[in-house]
Amino acid sequence: MSSNTVSLPAGELPERMEAVVCHGPEDYRLERIARPKAGPREMILRISACGICASDVKCKSGAAMFWGDGDKQPSWVKAPVVAGHEFFGEVVELGEGAFEHFGFDLGERAIAEQIVPCEKCRYCRGGHYWMCEVHDILGFQQGVAEGGMAEYLKVPANARVHRIPDSLSLEQAAFIEPLACGIHAVNRGDIQLDDVVVIAGAGPIGLAMVQVARLKTPKKLIVVDMLDARLELARGYGADVVLNPSRDDVGGEIRALTEGYGCDVYIEATGAPSGVIQGLDVIRKLGRFVEFSVFGKPTTVDWSIIGDRKELDVRGAHLSPATFPVAIDLLARGLVTTEGIVTHRMPLAEFERGFTMAAAAESVKVLLEP
């Protein structure tokens, strides 16, 4: 393969493409824009599918986590920007030196991690690239990190890219990114064989966590969610106990199963303040509390629970460091399934319906397909 720019035969790649462009809160538009072209050590993917993440829904609604809150929270979104970070596609153009840089050839299926690390800050240089101080995330920064709700996407030279085996279906390939995030959160819980583990929130990533946590073979795996349909999925994926806070005494049930002590590990994946408060109540002293969710509003708790009363080990879980290869392997070996998780597939042009469906109780994971 030559180091010069290589693409599919002339005329096959259009000059323009359709894309969902974020202009601001509640201002997402399907537009026809210029197709990105590969520069040195860059490549272009033809997008096969892009999932709608809960963070996409919160971003579209204008949640402060993404749009900033004055000096309290910097804005992640630099609009206008093509949205979407749960994508995968086929390599259709290689810029100069891209073949040598990435090791990908035309026609191969590829997925890029959502973060595009700067490789210069103290975190990148220290090996903690997912905590990059610059923190460009595909689908959130104009011109630098455009997203996958489009027909084509440019993979920047400093992106981390992984090969997708042909054995994975479209649904499986589209679930790699959420699964990779779930794997990192479960790993942060440091689950032991005699642990009672609670996963709060059975959304797409929560259901990924259930499957991964089961592979850790804890003593007991408990899943909490407000939707019975999702709890049934969790039970099918290996949960020993499922609890619905709308009718079950979650704290009482967990204490009854643990001789009154509480769970050893609590993974918060609800994105709701009540999930945090519930977790601090049901976790035992010296337990491990893993916070994964992106919240749309602040959470207020009694912090004395963490220190004076329980001396908890509180851990965050951000993105998916070094877990994309693990996610691909688990899917390829059939140890994790997408059956029941990918509930809706629709054309890119129906993105508004897709976002509405992604926030609805009857859906789990919604995919947009160009």
CATH number, position 12 = 3.90.180.10
Domain check: are 19 and 103 in the same one? yes
Q: Is residue 329 included in any domain, yes or no? A: no
48 or 69, higher pLDDT: 48
Query: Is 99 found in the same domain as 194?
Result: no
125 and 213 in a common domain: no
Average pLDDT over residues 120-145: 95
For residues 150 and 71, membership in a common domain is answered with: yes
**pLDDT score, position 226:** 97
Which DSSP string corresponds to 131-153?
G-SS-EETTTBTTTB--SSBSEE
Strand partners, 288: 265, 313
- The reported pLDDT for the residue numbered 12 is 80
Is pLDDT above 90 for 87?
yes
Cis upstream peptide for 14 (omega within 30°)? no
> Do residue 257 and residue 352 come from a single domain?
no
Lowest mean pLDDT of 62-76, 170-184, 192-206, 219-233, name the range: 62-76
Same domain, 44 and 192: no
* pLDDT value at 219 more than 70: yes
For residue 95, the Cα-to-chain-centroid distance in whole angstroms is: 28
Whether residue 274 is found in the same domain as residue 298: yes
Rounded CA separation 235/207 (Å): 10
Domain-embedded: residue 324 = no
Condensed to tens digits (0 to 9), the pLDDT of residues 321-333 reads 999 999 999 999 9
- The stretches of the chain forming alpha helices (DSSP H) are 54-61, 64-67, 98-102, 122-125, 170-174, 176-188, 204-215, 228-236, 250-256, 273-282, 324-332, 351-358
Residue 295: pLDDT above 90?
A: no
pLDDT digits (tens, 9 = 90+) for 258-289: 999 999 999 999 999 999 999 999 999 999 99
Is the torsion defined by CA of 359, 362, 366, 370 positive or negative? Answer: negative
Domain check: are 245 and 134 in the same one?
no
* Average pLDDT for 149-154: 98
Is the pLDDT assigned to residue 52 strictly greater than 70? yes
Which pLDDT belongs to residue 73?
Answer: 46
Q: Name the one residue in this structure whose structure tokens are 């509930």.
A: 343
What residue type is assigned to position 250 of the chain?
A: V
Checking if the pLDDT of 10 tops 80, the result is: no
* 358 and 288 together in one domain: no
> Three-state SS for 122?
helix
The residue with greater pLDDT, 9 or 121, is 121
Residue written as token pair 């809150």: 69
Residue 108 lies in a domain: yes
Whether 109 and 203 map to the same domain: the answer is: no
In 106-249, which residue ranges form alpha helices assigned H by DSSP?
122-125, 170-174, 176-188, 204-215, 228-236
Distance CA 13, CA 353 (A): 28
Average pLDDT over the chain reads 94
332 inside domain: no
Q: Which residues constitute the domain of residue 188?
A: 182-316
| Residue count (the chain) | 370
Domain assignment of residue 355, yes or no: yes
Instruction: Judge if 55 and 201 occupy the same domain.
Output: no
Query: Which residue's structure tokens are 């892009």?
Result: 50
* Together in a domain, 20 and 168: yes
Per-residue pLDDT, averaged over 180-196, amounts to 98
Give the tokens for residue 360: 């609805």
Categorize the per-residue pLDDT at 232 as very low, low, confident or very high, splitting at 50, 70 and 90: very high
State both tokens at 356.
Answer: 């509405």
Considering the entire predicted model, what is its pTM?
0.94
Is 326 a member of any domain?
no
Residue 325 to residues 91, 164, 165, 251, 354, Cα–Cα distance (Å): 18, 9, 11, 36, 28
Taking the C-alpha atoms of residue 14 and residue 46, their distance in angstroms, rounded to an integer, is: 11
Give the mean model confidence (pLDDT) for residues 100-113.
Answer: 97
Q: Does the pLDDT at position 129 exceed 60?
A: yes
Contact 326, 115 (CB under 8 A): no
Domain count, the chain: 2
**What band does 64 get if pLDDT is binned at 50, 70 and 90?**
very low
